[in-house]
Chains A and B, each alone.
Chain A
Amino acid sequence: MKHSIQVKVNGEVCEGEVEARTLLVHFLRDQLGLTGTHVGCVVGECGACSVLVDGALVKSCLMLAVQAHERDLVTIEGLARDGALQPIQEAFVSRFGLQCGFCTPGFVMASHALLLRNPNPTDEQIRQDLSSNLCMCTGYVQIVEAVKDAASRLRSRQGHEDGSATKGTKAAKQ
């Protein structure tokens, strides 16, 4: 028996017919073609399938597709806008925070979730948080550097936005 689901993915409403047993990661990959979300273990240990569900970090191999009905998802494909890398993605590129790239979407999503909660994490907090994900290539050093770099990029962008907003207000007052 199939179930109809409606899921908002990267801002777009998507509909699908799934079996009750279909995992969210398989729905994303096989039905929506969002192949940036990877399957490394399918039992919630590696984090390669990490996505955001209503803003929370979720391993999409541990969630059924039917459970995502009427929820709001962000996948790795939802971060870059108009061909420009999002700052976390840019930091992973410029800091060489990846090698084979298979775990990378999961690490970027996990870093995204961390930096939403904590814009200025310490090394220890980064390592604590990212212990949800496994990378077999990098030894994590350049990933931790990338997350710190991402945090500083996001803070300075936030600073610019706040700054220009303030200026704008002043200008309006004058």
Chain B
Amino acid sequence: MTQYIGRSVRSKEAPRFVTGRGRYVDDLSLPRMLHACILRSPYAHARITAVSGDRATQLRGVKAVLTPDDVKRLSRPFKPGRYAAGLRVPIPEYAGAIGKVRYVGEPVAIVAADSRAVAEDALELIDVEYDALPAVVTTADAAAPAAPVLYDELGTNVAWQGHVSYGDVEAAFARADRIVRENLKVHRYSSTPLEPFACLAEHTPERLTIWCNAQSPDVIYDAVSEALGIDSVRVIVPDIGGGFGQKIHLIRKYAVLAALMAVKTGRPVKWIEDRSEHMMAGGHSCEQEFDVEAAVRANGEVLGLKIRDTDDVGGSVSTLTIHFTNKLNNLFNTYKVQHLRLDGRSVLTNKCPVVPNRGIGKPGMCFVWERMMDRIAQELALDPIEVRRRNLVPADRFPYTTPNGNIHGSGDYQTLLDKVLVNVDYAGVRRRQAEEHARRAGSYIGIGVVIGIEPGGRNAARDMAIFPQSAQMPGAGGVEGATVKIEKNGSVLFTLGSPSCGQSHETTASQIIADVLGVAPERVSAVGAFDTALSPWGISSSNSGNNFHLYDVGAVHGAATRLRDKVLTLAAHVLKADKETLRIDDGVVGTITFAELGTIAYGNQAMLPPGFEPGLQATYYHSHPHADPLMLPDAQGRVRAQYTFSSAAHAAVVDVDPETGRVRVLRYVIVSDNGTLINPAVVDGQIYGSAAHGISVALGEGFVYGADGQLLTMTLLDYGKSTTLETPHIEIEHYPVPDPFTTLGQKAAGEGAAIPSPAAIASAVEDALAPLGVKVRHLPLSPERVWNLIREA
């Protein structure tokens, strides 16, 4: 049955990409199209006292300027989204700044002109008067009693405080042999998709159509519809140049601004973000600080964990708690610990708002667990691998329910750890380390071994665990659709409910259809761009590899299965054969081809079975059949935060130069369980890419702000993105343990390796510098930071 599933079948998307024939938003143009540019705040915190577009509109070629007054008059504020659980006071947020700016780069005005160059010229002619206010840049300053407040409505910058608690934490601490304490920090970074935000809006008498590189078309659909008060909205998503979560949320502001401009001018309006705009205002991950206490027994068993988490959420309340609530997804990592309390504070600062990206909060949670495992080992004089082993959920306990309600369907964490130690030659690295120390070689080699999970699937009702009073229930569980069709000539077409931004949706879906229908993948192709008017969409995939695997795979499989039944019914009737005994082989059912069946199904009523609906097409909407129990939180706040749980052990070997603080990654080895692999090369790609990102984050990629709230890292070079030179060759071994609850046994395969990799590098650097007494508590480990750690040790 599985001829194609499990094989690295040739990529469907790659031929158009290697020939330059991918089609991204900026490649599109429409007749009479205008080009828009956005004027952004140069201040981190200021009142806007006056804005005038008069001089700009006099420039030849300029067609319109929208000021904050226009935006307020012409649109409605966003409804508090599903990312703002915990917001106590409703705060209206418009697509552009109204009255006040709260971060450098916040959009203030938009101009449209005949060309991009003229629109850029016009920005200099828009007059804005600001009344500058003091900026707060650190959470400590922002939370101080006399701090300047970003939102008067809240009266404080501590916009949310709350906690979750599972088990009996105090009792666990009371019976501990020892309490191990640590302060840990993860810095601000992003996923920097290479294609920045892009929108092209057109308003016709029938509807508002927007071509947009949004990962979650539903966010754009709702935002444009609500902000403009237009029911008839169509969102089309062509090829997307990378997403990683960056293109889920803040992009809605720009879709609304472009749409407003299209309505105002009566002409199509294209807006393409530039790189510096994306760095300033496209959304960052959240800087997180953790005060952690672990209650442990002398043998290394962790009895309980207490964490106080402070999240720097930047200058908007619209994503107030996403980095906190996402920690529910991997709250216990791979460990059997039963007692845990996580306290959270979301603090507003005059920095870029935070957005989902590659892991959202989960890399921080994994960092907490894995740093603590090393620290516990050090304080108890135990081996760090043994401490992990002692706490892992054993392989015979699956399906395993975590104390907060997640069900890990399958897994074998011990074996992942065993295998990674063999593959990295752990004993050999330790021998080499000892020899070099003995020689006093001045070479600092270290090894870090960590373990983590990649949760997949979505359940927005998770957020009710911290905000049960939420007026409207966020979408619980998930729904996604797919359509599969056999054409009149026997070729097979399909439409997915979610767009792809590089995860090879077309390739993977084709393999499933090929196997279910019994046809070669070469004859299967995707219809093309995602289109809310034509695609059977839900809101589940948010276009990430870790959701696609659950919802789209289920939907495509379901639609193909339905279509297969239709094909067999028609063929049995035409051939006068028994449906149960018919076989499909390479597009031939018994003796009749798909093309012959297509001709009958669409054009020859006389040959159709009685009661047979003509055509050969099937649509199927999938939701996870095992989403219950705990789809909604119970009284203890237990909820299925996500539905599938891939896992992986990572081992990093590093060499630290004590003179410069430079960390070189000598080897990076992963053993990964992503359940059933549909296309191993595609899954490899997801692992390589997310590991490389996490490694780059640990080695120094990130945002730096001045004390005045000015962003100092506006380019990719200043931001410190790793290139081919800093990125190690990454080695992968697959150890799949199929999930008993999913369609094909598949589990998440997307952002996974970005979750444990920062912790792996931190562990390895600390191990390397152990002879100097260095403790690694904070990321990033840029050369400057490592150099200072060595000096301070």
A binds B: yes
**Measuring CB to CB, which residues of chain A are less than 8 angstroms from any residue of chain B?**
19, 21-22, 26, 29, 34-43, 45-46, 48, 75-77, 79-80, 85, 89, 92-94, 96, 98-105, 108, 123, 126-128, 130-131, 133-144
Q: Which residue of B lies closest to A22 (CB)?
A: B117
B512 within 8 A of A: no
Q: A75-B20, A101-B16 are in contact. Are A40 and B194 (CB under 8 A)?
A: yes
The reply to whether B17 and A104 contact each other, CB–CB distance below 8 Å, is yes
Nearest Cβ on chain B to A86's Cβ, whole angstroms: 9
The reply to whether B11 and A93 contact each other, CB–CB distance below 8 Å, is yes
The reply to whether B724 and A38 contact each other, CB–CB distance below 8 Å, is no
Query: Number of residues in B with C-beta < 8 Å to the partner?
Result: 58
The reply to whether B241 and A140 contact each other, CB–CB distance below 8 Å, is no
Can you list 14 A-B contacts (CB < 8 A)? A92-B18, A93-B14, A98-B18, A99-B503, A102-B193, A102-B194, A105-B17, A105-B20, A128-B725, A133-B724, A136-B191, A137-B502, A137-B685, A143-B724
Give the residues in chain B near A39, CB-CB below 8 Å: 26, 272
Chain A contact residues: helix, strand, loop or mixed: loop
B240 within 8 A of A: yes
Could you tell me the distance between the alpha carbons of A142 and B732 in the complex, rounded to whole angstroms?
Answer: 12
- Using A46-B716, A101-B502, A108-B18 as known contacts, list a sample of 14 further A-B pairs with CB atoms less than 8 Å apart, ordered by residue number in A: A29-B26, A39-B26, A45-B716, A93-B14, A99-B504, A99-B689, A101-B16, A103-B194, A103-B241, A134-B721, A137-B502, A138-B688, A139-B685, A141-B684
Q: A45-B716, A136-B191 are in contact. Are A93 and B241 (CB under 8 A)?
A: no
Could you tell me the distance between the alpha carbons of A105 and B241 in the complex, rounded to whole angstroms?
Answer: 12
Q: A41-B716, A134-B723 are in contact. Are A102 and B688 (CB under 8 A)?
A: no
- B18 CB contact (under 8 Å) in A104, A127, A141: A104
**Measuring CB to CB, which residues of chain B are less than 8 angstroms from any residue of chain A?**
8, 10-11, 13-24, 26-27, 116-117, 191-196, 239-244, 272, 274-275, 501-504, 681-682, 684-685, 688-693, 715-717, 721, 723-725, 727, 729-730
Could you tell me the distance between the alpha carbons of A135 and B242 in the complex, rounded to whole angstroms?
Answer: 10
Could you tell me the distance between the alpha carbons of A153 and B36 in the complex, rounded to whole angstroms?
Answer: 45
Could you tell me the distance between the alpha carbons of A141 and B721 in the complex, rounded to whole angstroms?
Answer: 16
The reply to whether A79 and B19 contact each other, CB–CB distance below 8 Å, is yes
Chain B CB count within 10 A is highest, among A100, A142, A144, for A100
Could you tell me the distance between the alpha carbons of A119 and B53 in the complex, rounded to whole angstroms?
Answer: 57
Give the residues in chain B near A102, CB-CB below 8 Å: 22, 24, 193-195, 241-242
Could you tell me the distance between the alpha carbons of A56 and B421 in the complex, rounded to whole angstroms?
Answer: 45
Could you tell me the distance between the alpha carbons of A127 and B730 in the complex, rounded to whole angstroms?
Answer: 14
Give the residues in chain A near B727, CB-CB below 8 Å: 139-140
Could you tell me the distance between the alpha carbons of A100 and B729 in the complex, rounded to whole angstroms?
Answer: 20
Chain A CB count within 10 A is highest, among B20, B191, B240, B725, for B20
- B14 CB contact (under 8 Å) in A92, A135, A140: A92
The reply to whether B14 and A96 contact each other, CB–CB distance below 8 Å, is yes
The reply to whether B684 and A142 contact each other, CB–CB distance below 8 Å, is yes
The reply to whether A101 and B17 contact each other, CB–CB distance below 8 Å, is yes
The reply to whether A85 and B19 contact each other, CB–CB distance below 8 Å, is yes
The reply to whether A41 and B724 contact each other, CB–CB distance below 8 Å, is no
Q: A35-B27, A136-B242 are in contact. Are A127 and B19 (CB under 8 A)?
A: no
